[in-house]
Structure 1
Amino acid sequence: MHQTEIHLAPGVPDIGALWATSFEDLMGLGGALVGEQRGCVVRETPRQKVLRLPLPGTSDDGARPGEAPRGAGTGWIFLTRYGAGRLAECLAARLSQPRSSSFAARQWNLLCHLRKHGVGTPELLAMGEVTRPLFSKRSFLVTRALDSMQPLPEWLARHPAPLARRRAGRAIGLTLARIHSAGVHLPNLKATHLFLASASVAESPVEGDSLQGDALQGDALQGDALQGNTCAAQQIAARLPKKSAHPGKFRRLPEVSLASARGARIDSALSPSTQLDSLRQLFISLEAALQPSPREAYGVFLLALGRRLSRPERRRLWNQLTSSGAMKLTP
């Protein structure tokens, strides 16, 4: 019989705070969790099942009288159960950075790495896997839902004013710059993967986003080991630099979080062309009514990857971006 491992974030006292008594409960092998009665299945494929359910003590119209929190706070969570993937997917998760022993550990490591570099992500609560010599065929990941935020398309539809769109574009550009600075490639980036909140955070220069003086402990990549749990309890906005390097241009920008790192990998030598692919995928995924104007798109482009390039290289990449079949923009 194979052993199992469960890793909990500092703010989660035990798996009872997640309705469970065992690894099997969280994998759905021992029947449905109590919280599933009030939740729903968000996505289900032969290799993955994602459920949205409340933490104990979360109130809504269906809350049972006397229900109390169990130490992890209240609110809604996502429970992702991973099964056996394709051989190519398993090899990629095992052999490319961050090398991980399961699909759940891969997501945990990627999100921890991004949070360490100042990128907002869902709060990590728990991860578990069946221990295997090479790669686990069963694992789960629990994250807190971004309920106070909206997907980018929904946010843009609710905030059509030009000033709001410009500030959103600037916040997204800075977020993409931090992602690129962290060496993370997002080949499947879509507009629905970026969540924005109306609450604002101070604008900060990319050069000051490495947070080396305030780095999370225990998160550095070490082989294929699961990264430290300390990142789960951090509030990214509180850790960003409080002052802009350009006081005259200080603004309040929407908070941005990356909801999914599916298919991502860490590569310290990301080329500008590879970074451009993520930006292209983001723009293409927006419906026509929400597509950025040429000026808005160029502003995001400059912040995301253009400012550190020479003028000829910047022009070449911009032309490459605008000449793609799904985009017809001119600066």
Structure 2
Amino acid sequence: MLDRSSEIDGSSGPDPVSELLMGMRLRGASYSKMRFSPPFGIGFAEAREARFHFVAAGQAVLKTPSGTMVPVSCGDALLLPRGDAHAIASGPGVGIRPFDSFESVPLCPDIYCVDALQEQQCRSRDVLVFSARMQLELDTLHPLIELMPDFLLVSAPCGQQPEVRPLLDAMEREMTASRAGSASILARLAEVVAVSVIRNWVECGCGDATGWVAALRDERLGRVLVALHRDPGRNWTLADMAATMGSSRSVFAERFAAATGTTPLRYVAALRMRLAAQWLTRDRVPVEEIAHRLGYQSQAAFSRAYKRIAGMPPGQARKAW
């Protein structure tokens, strides 16, 4: 988590992007060891969680709803940060069957085995995939998730991210050796690999992403964004934010809007509501406590603000999750 006790000043320290990465967490929701013999097609429905795949043996293709097809083979890792619908198939023309329709056998809590093998099939053609649903958490710096591409790929032959290769090699060994406890080890390795893939994307400039990332990389604007995300419950005024940046209110407001596409005060309000939604649904924090954390004078004032921005009262949002 970000250290909320730290002071924002002009002294040297971690840059805003490093601050962002310090807040990044992944929590595995469920994991599956899957073995298929071609032809096969597994469809994964859109989900709230991120989706991770690692190919430990064989070859396949990733198919997206837009029609994009990406070859994946042994040693490749895929991360779909927003959990978009997609399919893993043995080839482009294969029919797709929903993942949930396959029989799964529990190996240990939250880890399952899925086999869909053809009778009398040469086992050397089998495709072995480790798949995970993950809750991707970036503390309050949620906009990064929306800026990520539909999928991030680490390809074995390309020499990308050399620090990740030993982790992927370890995953391949655990998948193929089937040693005791391998499922739990695979789950932990998958989380580390997924975080490393995101970190590499950020360090390489976040691809073509602009706007919010550009503002974060701007030394002076980034200082304001980190301050807002560290202390969203503070009674922020335009003057406070301009002083943090070290500029006049008019110059700050103009630069902030140009970089983020919204006004500073609207940004703060949206940030608070994103946090509130997370605390309401995932963490089940009482509404009164959320109102206090976010600096509202009363539960009623918070509820009105939440309904205005989210379109429904907090209690209804909690039930809808």
Tell whether the structures are fold-level matches, with TM greater than 0.5.
Answer: no
TM range (shorter): under 0.3
TM-score (norm 1): 0.24
Instruction: Compute the TM-score of the two structures, normalised by the length of structure 2.
Output: 0.24
